[in-house]
């Protein structure tokens, strides 16, 4: 393998079919390396094929930073340096796992504009509650494992085939991963997932999924298709997560066909008949696809599916309640009383919360959004079935640049000042 040495990394890569006129770049998943594409590459004889071990994987080494954004910048820099070294200007992408998220970062930030983008069994949405349970389960299960043992544990989850050579390839890849870094890399990928980024991807995109993928069923991956402007999706029969190992020939045929026809004309959507049950269906689907942003790092703003929710947010502590729930999630009423009405009596705070809830629900209803904020005798929470993002959480995770001016200028209250102190302490802003 060839090597590129950078200040903070050493990247090992491989180029095949140098003389071919078209190029495909392959990006692998977390814990794996470039060899995960070994079974599918022989079917792309008409293309120049570039694959490499992403930093922290395989033979590649690199600094892992404490800040998510620095890590993504490093991964982006590795990729850009590689294509500049090989003088690659026009190419297609075929990606899996964190390789798919790296492609999303590259494309959505306008570093690259590939001719096409193929995503192998990688969701860009996962219900938060399920994701948290899945991460907790994985962390417990892999504790004390070697990389090879991790690969062996993963095989039933990602491969349908019983072929021992294919199993060995996966175990051999995982054997090279630094187990002290594995979950950090996994979490780096998980925290970066965002349906919003997909809307910026204008290149023709193909989503391929295996019918037997236990972790990422077809229904999860289908949701991503609703956010990609130019997309096709297909299911690979007889395959689990690693479709390119389970069914390499069929996978290659579908990808090459997509590449050859990637400038297809999208079919115009038909107007749906005005049947009562179809309007209910549309409503149900819309509810399942809500993407809510509650931002207050500088000024408060709430968006639902990219649409700003206007209204009298400055009245009755409406924006403060939404900011609190967007940041802390499900919270007891007693804690909310103390945070929003610290000097009020319990009965007064109870009444104030009822008024605020009514006002918030009215604002949302006027915007055509209902049933996303809930309360019972003990708790207040936002619907757990929707995807909720918050710029303050992203800033704390290192996914967003912290502004030097106007930090939390919209709501200078005690509970927000505590978050500001945490931000300033964590990132040495004081």
Question: What pLDDT shows up at residue 247?
Answer: 98
User: Tens digits of per-residue pLDDT, 228-238?
Assistant: 889 999 999 99
Q: What are φ and ψ of residue 219, in 5° steps?
A: -60, -40
- CB environment 371-400: b (16+ within 10 A), e (fewer): ebbeeeeeebebeeebbbbbbbbbbbebbb
Mean pLDDT across the stretch 111-126?
93
Mean pLDDT across the stretch 45-62?
98
Instruction: For 2-260, give the CATH class.
Output: alpha beta
Cα(330)–Cα(347) distance, rounded to whole angstroms?
21
Asked whether the beta carbons of 115 and 92 are under 8 A apart, the reply is yes
**Fold of domain 285-426:** Arc Repressor Mutant, subunit A (1.10.10)
Cα(98)–Cα(186) distance, rounded to whole angstroms?
8
Q: Is the pLDDT of residue 200 over 80?
A: yes
Instruction: Output the six-digit token pair for 320.
Output: 């403060």
User: Tens digits of per-residue pLDDT, 333-362?
Assistant: 999 999 999 999 999 999 999 999 999 999
Confidence class of residue 289 from pLDDT cuts 50, 70 and 90?
low
Beta-bridged to residue 208, according to DSSP, are 120, 234
- CB environment 134-170: b (16+ within 10 A), e (fewer): eeeebeeebeeeebbebbeebbeebbbbeeeebbebb
Region of poorest pLDDT, from 98-112, 155-169, 270-284: 270-284
Q: pTM above the 0.75 mark?
A: no
Cα(330)–Cα(264) distance, rounded to whole angstroms?
45
Q: Is the pLDDT of residue 35 over 60?
A: yes
Question: What pLDDT shows up at residue 263?
Answer: 45
Q: Where along the chain do its domains lie?
A: 2-260, 285-426
Confidence class of residue 268 from pLDDT cuts 50, 70 and 90?
very low
Q: What is the DSSP letter of 317?
A: T
Confidence class of residue 139 from pLDDT cuts 50, 70 and 90?
very high
| Mean per-residue pLDDT over the chain, rounded | 90
Instruction: Tell which residue, 121, 76, 64, 70, has the closest CA to residue 97.
Output: 121
Cα(99)–Cα(163) distance, rounded to whole angstroms?
25
Q: Identify the residue with better confidence: 95 or 225.
A: 95
Half-sphere exposure (Cβ direction) of 322: Cα atoms closer than 13 Å: 31
User: Tens digits of per-residue pLDDT, 308-324?
Assistant: 999 999 999 999 999 99
Cα(1)–Cα(82) distance, rounded to whole angstroms?
13
Instruction: Tell which residue, 395, 399, 350, has the closest CA to residue 375.
Output: 350
Question: What pLDDT shows up at residue 15?
Answer: 98
Confidence class of residue 220 from pLDDT cuts 50, 70 and 90?
confident
Q: What percentage of the chain exceeds 90 in pLDDT?
A: 71
Q: CB 256: neighbour CB atoms within 10 A?
A: 17
Cα(117)–Cα(201) distance, rounded to whole angstroms?
9
Confidence class of residue 408 from pLDDT cuts 50, 70 and 90?
very high
Q: Within its chain, how far is the Cα of 274 from the centroid? A: 35
Question: What pLDDT shows up at residue 266?
Answer: 41
């Amino acid at each position: 393998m060839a090597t590129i040495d950078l200040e903070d990394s050493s990247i090992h890569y491989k180029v095949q079919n140098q003389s071919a006129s078209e190029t495909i770049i392959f990006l692998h998943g977390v814990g794996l390396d470039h060899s995960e594409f070994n079974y599918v590459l022989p079917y792309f004889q008409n293309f120049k094929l570039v694959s490499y071990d992403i930093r922290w994987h395989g033979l590649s080494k690199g600094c892992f930073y404490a800040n998510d954004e620095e890590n993504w910048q490093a991964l982006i820099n590795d990729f850009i340096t590689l294509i500049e070294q090989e003088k690659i200007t026009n190419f297609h992408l075929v990606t899996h796992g964190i390789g798919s998220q790296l492609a999303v970062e590259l494309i959505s930030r306008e570093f690259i504009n590939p001719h096409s983008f193929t995503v192998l069994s990688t969701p860009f949405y996962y219900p938060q509650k399920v994701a948290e349970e899945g991460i907790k389960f994985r962390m417990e299960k892999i504790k004390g494992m070697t990389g090879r043992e991790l690969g062996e544990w993963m095989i039933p989850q990602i491969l349908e085939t019983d072929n021992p050579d294919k199993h060995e390839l996966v175990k051999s890849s995982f054997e090279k991963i630094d187990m002290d870094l594995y979950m950090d890399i996994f979490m780096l990928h998980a925290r970066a997932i965002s349906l919003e980024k997909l809307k910026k991807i204008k290149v023709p995109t193909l989503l391929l999924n295996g019918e037997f993928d236990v972790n990422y069923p077809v229904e999860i991956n289908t949701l991503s298709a609703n956010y990609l402007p130019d997309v096709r999706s297909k299911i690979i029969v007889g395959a689990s997560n690693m479709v390119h190992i389970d069914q390499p020939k069929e996978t290659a045929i579908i990808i090459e066909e997509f590449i050859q026809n990637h400038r297809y004309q999208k079919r115009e959507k038909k107007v749906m008949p005005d049947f009562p049950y179809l309007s209910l269906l549309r409503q149900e689907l819309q509810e399942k696809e809500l993407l809510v942003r509650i931002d207050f790092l500088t000024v408060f703003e709430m968006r639902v599916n990219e649409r700003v929710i206007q209204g009298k947010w400055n009245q009755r502590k409406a924006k403060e309640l939404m900011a609190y729930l967007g940041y802390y999630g499900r919270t007891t009423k007693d804690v909310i009383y103390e945070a929003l009405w610290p000097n009020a009596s319990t009965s007064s705070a109870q009444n104030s919360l009822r008024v605020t809830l009514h006002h918030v629900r009215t604002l949302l209803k006027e915007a055509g959004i209902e049933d996303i904020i809930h309360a019972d005798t003990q708790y207040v929470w936002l619907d757990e079935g929707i995807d909720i993002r918050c710029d303050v959480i992203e800033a704390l995770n290192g996914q967003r640049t912290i502004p030097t001016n106007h930090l939390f200028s919209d709501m200078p209250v005690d509970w927000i000042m505590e978050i500001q102190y945490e931000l300033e302490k964590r990132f040495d802003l004081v």
